[in-house]
Amino acid sequence: MKVLKKIKSLIMRYGPMMTTCEKAHAFIDDYLAGELPAKSRRVFELHIRLCGECHAYLDHYREAIQMGQSYFHDQPDEACELLPDELSRAILSTNIDSHP
């Protein structure tokens, strides 16, 4: 197992168009933002194709971001309770005061 790991790391470190998991990891955000230069992008994509761990990591990383986007806020129609009266009045009085 250790030997296999070592071989993988040698290939990843010294093979043409190769990079290590650690270096590929540092590219993730730029890759997702579409901001990786063409060559780095090819290197990154090749690593993801060859490395099962990083492939899974990238998929799950993207999924975690999407879950945050989908679930963080209530949907507008779910947040239907009314504002406290006092707060509405305060907001409107500020507006009236500042814009006579």
Contacting residues toward another protein, per CB under 8 A: 5-6, 8-10, 12-13, 20-23, 25-26, 28-29, 51, 53-54, 57, 60-61, 63-65, 67-74, 76, 79-83, 87-88, 90-92, 94-96, 98-99
| Binding site partner of 29, from Zn ion, another protein, none, Cβ cut-off 5-8 A by kind | another protein
Query: By C-beta, is 43 or 54 nearer to Zn ion?
Result: 54
Give exposure, 11-47, as e/b (b: 16+ Cβ within 10 Å). Answer: ebeeeeebbeeeebbebbeebeeeebeeebeebbebb
Quick note: the x/- pattern for Zn ion over 31-70, rule CB under 5 A, is --------------------x--x----------------
**Residue 79: DSSP 8-state:** -
Tokens found for residue 30: 């730029």
42/92 with CB nearer another protein: 92
Confirm if 28 and 58 have CB atoms less than 8 A apart.
Answer: yes
The answer to whether 13 and 20 are in contact (CB under 8 A) is yes
